[in-house]
Structures are given as structure tokens and as C-alpha cells.
Amino acid sequence: MKKYILTGLLVWLPLAITIWVLMNVVGTLDGVFATLVGAARAVLPESVRPFLQSLRDIPGLSVIIVVAALWLTGVAVTNMAGQWLVNQSNRVFSNIPIVKSIYSSVKQVSDTLFSSSGQAFREAVLVEYPRAGSYTIAFVTGKPSGEVAQHLPADMVTLYVPTTPNPTSGFMLIVPRADVKPLHMSVDEALKYIISMGVVAPPASASGGATPPTLPANGPSTQS
């Protein structure tokens, strides 16, 4: 009985967790969408309120709206007029007290992480941590910059060491480039390996045979 129950659990658990996560994401978006619709009903004419209420009652509509809004935004900012609007909005938010500190920091981090030309979180490596002879997987985020770089040798890299099984928290390390061992596995494979606490290992073909990749001599530098 125990064997078959555990086997059935292994079959249904991934699907159940996936559905639970998606339902939470959709539920959060639906809640935000319902709040916006409620605010719109309070200021718009009476004639359009039934239509807004019908939109509010459609489950999952918020996801479609968010995806469409992101796509339209991406299309809009690819031309000069859209880019000008983005620059003007950045200038406005950067001049508002308190808001500018949060907005500028988040924008700088997001531009560094998600830029197609950047190298942050695009390479998994091995590093000795927390002591010599003990290794963990880390992600290259760039090179030290600003005042920190002035107090360090030139050939250093900045790493993010995630915790297990929650990789959203972790530690930042600045280590010599010679102490970092590049890996063939992709970032996705490394995350699976970390989240599973080493149980789900990447396939042997991802790491065997060829020489591991070499870290670029000039990694990305984050402005201070």
C-alpha cells in the first residue's frame, strides 16, 4: 500500500503544484483587475457599468490583458515615438522624491538582468563555498564596479549563490576568476539541480566530453 501510494503521489504531485502556482498567479492578477474595474465603474457613466461588471466576472481575462499589454508596450517602444515616451516617463519618475530611489534601483537591476546583451545570470559555475574543499553552484552576475572595485584586484567576478530549495534568496560573493569553475549546464538545469537539492542532476551530455566554457575576460559591469 505504501509503495503504491508514494508512486501515485510522485505522479500527481508535480501537476498539483503546477496547478496551484498557476491558480495563485491568475488569482492575484484577477484581484488586481477586479480592483481596477471597480475603480473605473465609480467614475465612468452608468451605461457602461454592466459591461465592466461582465468583464470582471470572466476568470483569467486579466492574464490575457496583461500579456496583450506587455506585447503592445514592446511593439510601441521599438519606434522613436515610443522610445521618447519611455525616456520622458523615466525622467519623471527619476525626479520624484522617494519614488526615484526605488524606481531607479529596480530599473537598473532589471535592465542588467534581462538585457539581451548582458551576461548576468547567463552562466552557471562551481565555486568553493562556504569553506575550502566544499563546492556549490553559483551564477555569474558581472564584475565588481564603483568603490568596491577600487579595493579589489582586477581579475575578480561577482557571483550569486542561491539557497536550497528556495533560489530567490542567497548570497553575493566576489571571488578571483581563477577560483571559479565554469560549467556546461544551462542556468535552467542548474536551477533544477539547486531546487531539487541535488536530486535532479542535468544529463551527462550537458557536462561531459568537451572543455568547460571560459569566463569572458571583460564581464558586464553594473554602474554604481
SS (H, E, C) 75-112: HHCCCHHHHHHHHHHHHHHCCCCCHHHHHHHHHHHHHH
- pLDDT the model gives residue 224: 38
pLDDT for residue 172 is more than 70:
yes
What are the distances in angstroms from CA 203 to CA 45, 136, 171, 208? Answer: 60, 18, 27, 9
pLDDT digits (tens, 9 = 90+) for 80-101: 887 888 888 888 888 888 887 8
CA quadruple 5, 6, 7, 13: dihedral sign: positive
Give the global pTM.
Answer: 0.55
pLDDT for residue 24 is more than 50:
yes
Least confident window among 23-37, 61-75, 104-118, 126-140: 104-118
Reported as a pLDDT band with limits 50, 70 and 90, residue 117 is low
- pLDDT the model gives residue 212: 52
pLDDT digits (tens, 9 = 90+) for 59-82: 778 888 888 888 888 888 888 887
Joined together, the cell numbers standing for residue 23 give 491558480
* CA atoms of 67 and 78, how far apart (whole Å): 17
- pLDDT the model gives residue 118: 56
Of 31, 24, 22, 30, the residue nearest 62 (C-alpha): 30
pLDDT for residue 157 is more than 60:
yes
Alpha helices (H) in the chain, listed in sequence order: 2-43, 49-56, 61-76, 80-93, 99-114, 146-150, 187-195
Region 98-123: what's the mean pLDDT? 72
Of 111, 101, 184, 98, the residue nearest 142 (C-alpha): 111
Region 155-175: what's the mean pLDDT? 88
Region 148-154: what's the mean pLDDT? 87
Region 7-36: what's the mean pLDDT? 87
- Would you say 33 and 65 are in contact if contact means Cβ atoms under 8 Å apart? yes
- pLDDT the model gives residue 220: 43
Cβ contacts of 10-19, under 8 Å, gap ≥ 24 = none
